[in-house]
Amino acid sequence: MIDVEEFLEVIRKVLGRDDITEETQIKDVEEWDSLKHLQIIMEIEDKFKVRIPLEKVGEISSVKDLYDITVDLL
């Protein structure tokens, strides 16, 4: 199981924001554009040694979605 706080730290670092939580919706974060989205996914993949399928990338609308997909891959 992935520690939620460790997971959030990856996203916070990429976005440069400390207010990201598991409930954060992507649409509510101005800095979270398509390039940051891909950067976050790549950082998550590297850190947690998973490969998120491309078809799943478009289904992610919140931090919780990304976390759940990542955990399911382990």
| Average of per-residue pLDDT across 20-34 | 97
Q: In CATH terms, is domain 4-73 a member of 1.10.760.10?
A: no
pLDDT, residue 37, reads: 96
**Is residue 1 over pLDDT 90?**
no
* Chain segment 28-72, per-residue pLDDT in tens: 999 999 999 999 999 999 999 999 999 999 899 999 999 999 999
DSSP letters, the chain, are ---HHHHHHHHHHHHT-S---TT-BGGG-TT--HHHHHHHHHHHHHHHT----HHHHTT--BHHHHHHHHHHH-
**What is the spatial distance between Cα 46 and Cα 70, in angstroms, rounded to a whole number?**
12
Q: How far apart are CA 21 and CA 5, in angstroms?
A: 9
Nearest to 47 by CA among 6, 5, 12, 1: 6
Q: Confirm whether pTM is higher than 0.85.
A: yes
Contact in structure between 73 and 2 (CB atoms under 8 Å): no
Give the model's pLDDT for residue 38.
95
Q: So what's the pLDDT on residue 15? A: 98
